[in-house]
Amino acid sequence: MVKAKKIADVLGMHVYTDQGEYYGDVEESILQENKVQAWKVRATRYSRLSNVLSGAKGVTVPHKMVKSIGDIMIISHTALPSESLGDEDLDKDMQ
């Protein structure tokens, strides 16, 4: 049986990569036609994401990169932006 979570339960949840790195916290969901398309993840203090981003406050992670949602959200490590990305590649809505 598939257990469904309310989006409100996911907001504020810690996000980790499948390699165990703390990524940030879920800030918002992006819905399209009553389906989750993506998650806005805020770079928080001590997160790997805050170390990589310069100037932006977070990124948008496509829902297809999410591997699991339980007590925490686990995403694919490939969702982590590389340190060479420019600001144009980051989510401008998070600034």
**Per-residue pLDDT reduced to its tens digit, 37-80:** 999 999 988 888 887 777 778 899 999 999 999 999 999 988 87
Q: What angle do CA 46, 93, 67 make, to 5 degrees?
A: 60
pTM over 0.85: no
For residue 60, the model assigns a pLDDT of: 92
Bridge partners (DSSP) listed for residue 38: 30, 62
Q: Quick check: 2 pLDDT over 90?
A: no
Q: Which two three-digit tokens encode residue 73?
A: 């959200």
* Integer-rounded Cα radius of gyration of the chain: 13
Give the domains, in start order, of the chain with CATH numbers.
7-81 (2.30.30.240)
CA 57 to chain centre: 12
d(CA 44, CA 42): 6
The span from the CA of 66 to the CA of 4, in Å, is: 15
pLDDT of res. 1: 67
| Both tokens assigned to 91 | 């989510």
